[in-house]
Amino acid sequence: MAWTLTVTDLKQYTYCPRILYFTRCLPDVRPTTEKMAEGKRAQEEEQGREERRQLRTYGFSTGQRHFDVALCSGALGVSAVIDLVILRPDGQNAAIPVDYKLSTLAGEHFKLQLTCYGLLVEEEMALPVPYGFIYLMPERRPQKVPLLARDRARVRQALVEMRELIETETMPAATTRPARCVNCEFRRFCNDIF
């Protein structure tokens, strides 16, 4: 497979396909923003809290927690580092991925990212992943997200489209949701949006 993508690529592509074009086809233009640094800091702090947090936060009494789980799928051509994976909670034959987000909403791009984590876990850890959690850091609450067949198919389709975009170096259309452009770090490169 020509390109190993990351699950972060998938999240960004789902948010706006043009972001993938900038990060993969023009990698030197990406500015570093305070928002990105803040997100990274918050994620590191959250991990410290997560280690003190109890499994009951997720509704479980028992299970094994694994932090920063690095996985790579040859079949999907995708790699990821998952914030937390809970193995066999309450004796279930399942693995549950958890993704921390500095957000109050579990948007579609976050849900597809979590779904892709599920596909990676199923392939690499050989356990079913019926659902996962997006942990909304500002609200300090986990949101349960079922990993639906529809979303699994969307992930696979998006990965095909992403590879084509990179291989052809074709700049896609801007997002149809201009509100997403307001705080986008690539805004100054998108001269056609306003």
Min dist. Cβ of residue 177 to ligand SF4 (A): 8
Tokens of 9: 């690529």
186 binds ligand SF4 (CB under 6 A): yes
Evaluate whether 72 touches 4 at the Cβ level (below 8 Å): yes
Sole window of 23-31, 101-109, 141-149, 177-185 interacting with ligand SF4 (rule: CB under 6 A) = 177-185
Per-residue x/- marks for ligand SF4, 37-76, CB under 6 A?
Answer: ----------------------------------------
Q: Which residue from 5, 10, 16, 20 is in contact with ligand SF4, where contact means CB under 6 A?
A: 16
Which residues on adjacent β-strands are paired with residue 132? 145
Min dist. Cβ of residue 155 to ligand SF4 (A): 20
Q: Nearest-CA neighbor of 180 among 37, 12, 9? A: 12
| Structural Rg of the chain based on CA atoms | 17
20 binds ligand SF4 (CB under 6 A): no
Q: Which is nearer to ligand SF4, 106 or 174 (CB)?
A: 174
Residue entry with tokens 């004796």:
91
Q: Nearest-CA neighbor of 45 among 106, 100, 104, 86? A: 100
Residue entry with tokens 């942990």:
135
Q: Which is nearer to ligand SF4, 5 or 184 (CB)?
A: 184
